[in-house]
């Protein structure tokens, strides 16, 4: 027999859950749920959400916590099922009963008999929940926090300023602009900032959004003629009432003049009000050519921190941390596999972790021992692409295209900086990205000897440390070559 979940039971379940997860996790994944019904015969209890991400995170991480809370309230074991439904489907099913069951976000559901109320900070802006309007909500990924962010030479400055911002929002580093290539940890740091702030300041209004979704919401608001239904007002209130605005991938705003204008005013309003702004991009602000000069200038008002590809030691540390989180037994064979992956996958943390996850998954499914031979066999498509497609010729062509010179120029003895500098960069990349020896690299550049190649490598390596623009150019070249 199926019946509605009693309101008091739902409040008690939420209360139990709130005692066993962090405040951030409770607000992000449990409070938005809507209790639907309980099937006593099949011992199944159903909940719904209009956000697919919530369903996926709950299924992946929190079902055991959920089921223990249900058992403590009903004194019986039930299987918890979370369904992804549209808001209209949820409302239609609720209306079939006599009582509308509130979700955990409903203030009326916060008081429980015999248990303390569940505190869910309310947003300062009017909710954007009208049907077909600006109803997107953005949650912080619970897996992205400072505790599992591996710090190395490539990212220690960005990590330090991000942590300082999290500890004391809007006091020193405002705005904070973090840039670097895809898959290097920018989003991880932004989510970590949000988590830390909410853990220590739960009443703060922290808003994380990608610039793509900011644009999407603005477009919806602009479709409201003369702001007749107040969509533009709600849009502005939502973003301008944030205590902390975390906006990801700002490069998406390039070429979008209306969106840039709105973000310019949002930026000014927040900054003038002493609110924290954190921005990420795949490039240094000066490289965002199609962005309004006023925005580029503001992005450089305070700290601009870059994240470079991780060095070998950091890659190994990342993989070991990943293995620990996956509860993998790390024996000598597995350490050899970690070394192999760290050696082969150099420029993207996401790809690095993906390669390890793939090996672990294969091993689990087929009950096979993980060693170097097994890894080479099952990651052959990744390794072969990197081993055979990247060579000195590929690198020379990419550098020539980047700097607008000919192959003959890069191989020549011309000493003008417009030729010598790209030549040195190409030599540097050949040593970084291939297994070619110094003499072999010299052969690709007009028969130069190994000392010339070594000098070029050392010169560029030294310049990168003090020249953010050059470091960014070389990182972009690496991504293009890969």
Residue 183 among known ligand-binding residues: yes
- Give, to the nearest 10 degrees, the angle between helix 468-481 and helix 450-466: 120
Q: Partners of 216 in the beta sheet?
A: none
Q: What is the pLDDT of residue 297?
A: 92
Q: Is the pLDDT of residue 70 over 90?
A: yes
Instruction: Give me the percent of the chain exceeding a pLDDT of 70.
Output: 87
Helix (H) or strand (E) holding 79: strand 79-84
- Choice between 92 and 62, residue whose per-residue pLDDT is larger: 62
- What pLDDT score does 96 carry? 63
Q: What is the pLDDT of residues 152-170, one digit of tens each?
A: 888 999 999 999 999 999 8
Tokens of 481: 């070559």
Instruction: Return the ∠ at Cα 75 (arms to 70 and 77), rounded to 5°.
Output: 60
The residues facing 206 across adjacent strands are 244
Looking at residue 384, its pLDDT comes to 55
Take residue 6 and report the two structure tokens written for it.
Answer: 């009693």
Describe the crossing of helices 468-481 and 417-433 by its angle, rounded to 10 degrees: 60
310 within 8 A of 149, measured Cβ to Cβ: no
Minimum mean pLDDT range among 11-15, 19-23, 78-82, 337-341: 19-23
Is 385 assigned a ligand-binding role in the annotation?
no
Indicate whether 114 pLDDT > 60.
no
DSSP H/E element including 459: helix 450-466
3-state secondary structure 433-452: HCCCCHHHHHHHCCCCCHHH
Q: Per-residue confidence at 414, pLDDT binned at 50, 70, 90?
A: confident
Q: How far apart are CA 105 and CA 54, in angstroms?
A: 14
- CA angle, 358 as apex, 357 and 363 as ends, to 5°? 100
The per-residue pLDDT for range 352-405, each reduced to its tens digit, is: 888 898 888 888 888 888 888 888 888 877 775 554 457 888 899 999 999 999
d(CA 84, CA 101): 17
Domain annotation for the chain: domains and CATH numbers: 2-103 (3.30.300.180), 156-307 (3.40.50.300), 312-389 (1.10.8.60), 392-481 (1.10.1750.10)
Q: Give the number of other Cβ atoms within 10 Å of residue 248's Cβ.
A: 22
d(CA 359, CA 342): 14
- The residue that leads in pLDDT, 72 or 112, is 72
Looking at residue 154, the DSSP 8-state letter turns out to be T
Angle of helix 417-433 relative to helix 392-403, nearest 10 degrees, comes to 140
Report whether 186 belongs to an annotated binding site: yes
pLDDT for residue 115 is more than 70: no
C-alpha neighbours within 13 Å on the C-beta side of residue 416: 4
Tokens 């909940």: give the residue: 47
Condensed to tens digits (0 to 9), the pLDDT of residues 199-244 reads 888 888 899 988 888 888 888 888 877 766 778 888 888 898 899 9
Cα–Cα distance measured from residue 348 to residue 362, given in angstroms and rounded to the nearest whole number: 22
pTM of the model: 0.56
At a CB cut-off of 8 Å and minimum separation 6, what does 271 contact? 174, 175, 277, 298
What is the per-residue pLDDT across 255-279, written as a single tens digit (0 to 9) for each?
A: 889 899 999 999 999 999 999 999 9
State both tokens at 133: 């309007």
300 Cβ contact partners less than 8 Å away, ≥ 6 residues apart? 177, 285, 286
Q: CA-CA distance, 214 to 275, in Å (whole number)?
A: 18
Give the pLDDT score at 28.
Answer: 74
* 172 annotated binding-site participant: no
């Amino acid at each position: 027999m199926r019946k509605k979940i009693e309101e008091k039971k739902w409040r008690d379940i939420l209360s139990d859950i709130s005692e066993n997860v962090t405040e951030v996790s409770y607000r992000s994944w449990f409070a938005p749920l809507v209790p639907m019904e309980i099937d006593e015969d099949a011992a199944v209890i159903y909940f719904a959400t209009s956000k697919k991400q919530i369903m996926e995170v709950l299924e992946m991480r929190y079902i055991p916590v959920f089921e223990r809370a249900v058992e403590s309230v009903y004194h019986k074991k039930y299987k918890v099922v979370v369904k992804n439904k549209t808001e209209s489907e949820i409302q239609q099913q609720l209306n079939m009963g006599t009582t509308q069951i509130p979700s955990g976000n409903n203030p009326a559901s916060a008081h429980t008999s015999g248990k303390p109320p569940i505190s869910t900070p309310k947003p300062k802006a009017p909710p954007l929940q009208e049907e077909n309007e600006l109803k997107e909500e953005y949650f912080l990924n619970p897996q992205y926090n400072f505790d599992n962010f591996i710090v190395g030479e490539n990212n220690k400055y960005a990590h330090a300023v991000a942590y300082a911002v999290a500890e004391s929002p809007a006091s020193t580093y405002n705005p904070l602009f973090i840039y670097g290539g895809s898959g290097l940890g920018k989003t991880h740091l932004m989510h970590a900032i949000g988590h830390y702030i909410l853990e220590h300041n739960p009443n703060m209004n922290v808003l994380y959004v990608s610039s793509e979704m900011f644009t999407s919401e603005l477009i919806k608001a602009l479709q409201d003629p003369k702001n007749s239904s107040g969509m533009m007002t709600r849009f502005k209130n939502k973003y301008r009432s944030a205590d902390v605005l975390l906006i990801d991938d700002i490069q998406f705003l390039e070429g979008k003049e209306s969106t840039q204008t709105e973000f310019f005013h949002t930026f000014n309003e927040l900054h003038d009000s002493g609110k924290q702004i954190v921005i990420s991009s795949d490039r240094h602000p000066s490289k965002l050519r199609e962005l309004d000069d006023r925005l580029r200038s503001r992005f450089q008002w305070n700290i601009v921190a870059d994240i470079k590809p991780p060095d070998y030691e950091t890659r190994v540390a990342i993989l070991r941390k990943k293995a620990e989180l996956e509860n993998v037994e790390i024996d000598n064979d597995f350490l050899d596999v970690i070394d192999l992956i760290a050696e082969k996958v150099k420029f993207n943390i996401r790809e690095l972790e993906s390669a390890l996850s793939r090996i672990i998954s294969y091993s689990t499914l087929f009950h096979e021992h993980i060693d170097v031979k097994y890894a080479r066999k099952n990651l052959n498509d990744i390794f072969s692409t990197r081993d055979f497609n990247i060579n000195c010729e590929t690198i020379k062509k990419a550098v020539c295209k980047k700097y607008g010179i000919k192959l003959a120029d890069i191989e020549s003895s011309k000493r003008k900086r417009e030729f010598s500098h790209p030549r040195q960069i190409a030599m540097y990349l050949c040593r970084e990205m291939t297994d070619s020896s110094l003499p072999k690299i010299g052969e690709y550049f007009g028969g130069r000897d190994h000392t010339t190649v070594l000098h070029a490598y050392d010169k560029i390596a030294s310049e990168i440390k003090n020249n953010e623009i050059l470091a960014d150019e070389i990182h972009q070249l690496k991504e293009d070559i890969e």
